[in-house]
Amino acid sequence: MDAIKSWAVTICLAALAAGIAGIIAPSGKMEKVYKFAVSLFFLCCMLVPLFSIKGISLGKISLDYTSNSVPNREIASTVNEQAIHLAQQNVAALVKNCCLSCGAEPKSVTVKVAASGTNSAMSVESAEVTLKTADMQKKQKIADAVMNKLGITVTVKDGGK
């Protein structure tokens, strides 16, 4: 009987809160979202006590964000590796664009990126461009273009034909 009484009180208080919230509801673009959130709140207030009556449990959700847990360190490591790989790809694409703007198509572009563990800062350690022998006369022009555009020194190597 106490469960039904507390459920009735909860519904009354939720209806009161929803009514007050409806009065101060914004108009315009956010009106539908706001009304949906209030309706969802009221619906949850009505349904949650029913779960306890039938013995249905929503379960406890435990989110452990401590840095000492092994799965979190593994996730952080994976995210860090993916961020480094993405940074390498992006910088390599920028270096390749510099080469193309100088009239040379690189055979390959290799970029090494280092990440600092303390603040997740990344820095470009080195960039290496491999050109065809015919494009080697543009070596200095490419190195200057990369330095001017990206601020990194690039090593240009001869890759043959």
Residues 77 and 135 in one domain: yes
- Mean pLDDT across the stretch 85-95? 85
19 is a domain residue:
yes
Residues 148 and 118 in one domain: yes
User: How many domains does the chain contain in total?
Assistant: 2
Residues 106 and 154 in one domain: yes
Residues 146 and 76 in one domain: yes
- Mean pLDDT across the stretch 95-102? 88
pLDDT of 139: 87
64 is a domain residue:
no
The residue out of 53, 79, 94 marking a domain boundary is 53
Under DSSP, is residue 56 helix (H, G, I), strand (E, B) or coil? coil
Greater confidence (102 vs 27) lies with 102
Residues 48 and 97 in one domain: no
pLDDT of 51: 66
pLDDT of 118: 57
Residues 103 and 137 in one domain: yes
**Residue 135 structural domain:** 71-158
108 is a domain residue:
yes
Greater confidence (116 vs 81) lies with 81
**What would the pLDDT profile of 118-161 be if each residue is shown by its tens digit?**
556 777 888 899 988 888 898 889 888 888 888 888 888 888 77
- Mean pLDDT across the stretch 17-41? 78
Split at pLDDT 50, 70, 90, the class of 11 is: confident
Residues 15 and 45 in one domain: yes
Under DSSP, is residue 25 helix (H, G, I), strand (E, B) or coil? coil
What is the distance between the alpha carbons of residues 139 and 101, in angstroms, rounded to a whole number? 13
Residues 45 and 79 in one domain: no
pLDDT of 71: 64
pLDDT at 55 over 60: no
- Supply the DSSP symbol for 103: T
What is the distance between the alpha carbons of residues 93 and 114, in angstroms, rounded to a whole number? 17
* CATH assignment of the domain containing 102: 3.30.300
